[in-house]
Each structure stands twice: as C-alpha cells, then as structure tokens.
Amino acid sequence: MAATDFKDYYATLGVNKAASADDIKQAYRKLARKYHPDVNPDDKTAEAKFKEVTEAYEVLSDADKRKKYDQFGQYWKQAGSYPPGSPGSADFGGFDFSQYGNFDEFINELLGRFNTTPPGGSRGYGYRPNATGYGGAGGFGDSAAAGQDLESILSLTLSEAFRGVQKRLNLGSETITVKIPAGAKPGSRIRVKGKGQPNPYGQQRGDLYLVVEIQHHAFFQIDGDNLLCELPIAPDEAVLGASVEVPTPDGTVTMNIPAGIRTGQTLRLRGKGWINSKGRGDQMVRVAIVPPVNPSDLEREYYEKIRASRSDPRSHLQQIKL
C-alpha cells in the first residue's frame, strides 16, 4: 500500500487519537445515522461516506486492530504477518526485503520508530525514548530501552484515599499488590515501576500509572486540602444558637452554632480536613436550616405564635423600586 493510500480513521470519525471506546462509538453512531443509505436514498456520496465511517469503526472499535493501526499506520494489516517476500506476504512492488527478519522490522524502520546500529555493527532494533510513549534512557538502536508506559483508572473509596490502602491488581498474567499512600486525591498519578508494556525486543517493561478516581461519599467532598460537608440544623438552633455533633474523618466532634446564623454560611473545623504534606487541611461545614416537614401539633402551635409576634424580615423591601 502506498503512503498516499493511507486512511486516517480517527479523522474519518472526527475524534482524536486519545478518544475512548465510548467516544468512538458515539461518533460512529452519529455519522452512521447521518450517512445511512436509508436516510439518503440514491445518494452515492453519502453511501461512500457511510462505508468509510463503517470501515473506520470496525478497526478502531477492535482493541487489537486499533493497537496495530496506531503502531503501524497504513501497514497495520500486514503487521505480524509472514516475513516480507515469503509466500502469502503483502505485495510492495518488488522491494527487496531480504535484509529484514520479518515484516514488523521493516515497518518499524520505515516509520522511524527503530534505527539500525552504527555502521559496521549488526542489525538491531530497540524502542526510541520519544513521544511515541516508550520510556527508557537508551538511545536509538538500544534494545534495552523500556517498553510503553500504561495508564489505568484506580477507583478508591473516600476512606481508602484518606487513610491509604493496599490494592491487589490483576494485570492479566500476573497479580500485583500496590500501596496507595494516605491522602491520595482525584487525579493523583501513582507510578508502578516496571509494570507497563514490555519492549518486544529487549523485554524491559515500561511503567504503569494509576490515576486515582474517588467514589462519591454521602457526606464529605474533597476541595483541595479541605473537606466540605453540609450540616442540617433546626430553625430554633439557627435563631438561638446551639452545640451540635458533627461527623469528621476522626470521629464526631461538638461544634458551636452561633445565634442568628443563616443557610449557606460556613463554619470551619481546623485540622479536620484532607491529609497533605504539611499535616491536615480544614473541614468546612456549610449550614442548611431545615424546617420540620411534618410538624407536630405542639410545634405548629408555637410556630403560629411566633408568626403572630415576630418582625417582618422583608420590611426593607417596601422601598425598592425599579
């Protein structure tokens, strides 16, 4: 296949190379509906476009095919096939492939991902430590360079992230134990050295990066080094003030509610927040005044007495005009 025959399947679907499987599926469905022959009868252009997006989806929706396509571009179908020049291999216009041990070696050199050893040395191939995602400190032709780094989402409960935890992870052919330090935050990247993809020639592995995702908690939310929470209080507690019990990561503590507090005001519990390099952040307690949903007869009686004798909180609005 000539370079001019290359089909950019990502461009065809209108997604970038980092698109997730769901992104690819959504893009395909949208385009398939737009160009489907039933929607565009007798429209040859739409029919051809429908075939293009279907072909792109068939490749990018298949994890193995997508991996080969990302690595070998227009030659992805031939990757891993018979050695060039042997029966059953692809036709490349009579090019002499005898110097290559297999098709992958030819493709890797053609696409510039590998390089030969210095003049006079034997032919050897190794990963480049560049933007293709391969690590290692070796240079061109260094078969000892590390393979590709991998990235995976690690879902933790709030308690696991706060206190730290050991997780057993299944990597397919092996199970590893990873220690997560206390105070991990959403988006934190934890490096597991030597658990990425192996270099297919030198077998040295890249690294695995675990990206922390923290599950929803019914009461606490992380906000930088602080913890946020909402504390419901009764109307009488808001009017008169009160001492109330508040949950914290360390257990329940007593907090004073000042008289006259309003919904939305925030009180601070110092040193009860998230773990950080300096110790702990604060816990920010947002107050919400909650009236009784089904007041008792006695409550209703007293609320009616209060209404009959209280001041009007909206009296100042009488002077407001546009």
The mean pLDDT value for 175-194 works out to: 91
Query: Which residues contact residue 16 at a Cβ distance below 8 angstroms, ignoring those fewer than 6 apart?
Result: 10
Which class is 3-110 in CATH? mainly alpha
The per-residue pLDDT for 37 is 83
Please determine, for residue 32, whether its predicted confidence score (pLDDT) is greater than 80.
Answer: yes
The lowest-confidence range among 124-128, 233-237, 274-278 is 124-128
DSSP secondary structure letter of residue 318: G
Token digits of residue 271: 């040193």
CA pair distance 245, 252, nearest whole angstrom: 6
Closest C-alpha to 239, from 262, 221, 218, 217: 262
Percent of the chain with pLDDT over 70: 76
- Whether the domain at 3-110 and the domain at 150-214 fall into the same CATH topology: no
Give tens-digit pLDDT for 78-110: 665 544 444 444 444 445 544 555 555 555 555
Q: How many CB atoms lie within 10 A of CB 117?
A: 15
Give tens-digit pLDDT for 120-153: 333 332 223 333 344 444 444 455 677 888 888 9
Q: Is 69 helix (H, G, I), strand (E, B) or coil?
A: helix
The CA distances from residue 322 to 127, 317, 318, in Å, are 72, 12, 12
User: What kind of architecture, by CATH, is found in domain 221-309?
Assistant: Sandwich (2.60)
Extents of the domains making up the chain: 3-110, 150-214, 221-309
Number of H helices, E strands in the chain: 8, 13
The per-residue pLDDT for 142 is 54
pLDDT grade for 76, boundaries at 50, 70 and 90:
confident
The per-residue pLDDT for 41 is 84
The per-residue pLDDT for 262 is 95
Please determine, for residue 118, whether its predicted confidence score (pLDDT) is greater than 50.
Answer: no
Please determine, for residue 210, whether its predicted confidence score (pLDDT) is greater than 50.
Answer: yes
CA pair distance 313, 158, nearest whole angstrom: 41
The per-residue pLDDT for 99 is 52
0.85 cut: is pTM over it?
A: no
Residue, of 71 and 253, whose pLDDT is higher: 253
Closest C-alpha to 184, from 155, 206, 151: 155
What does the mean pLDDT of the chain come to? 80
Which listed CATH number (1.20.1730.10, 3.40.190.150, 2.60.260.20, 3.40.309.10) goes with 150-214? 2.60.260.20
The mean pLDDT value for 171-193 works out to: 90
The mean pLDDT value for 254-273 works out to: 96
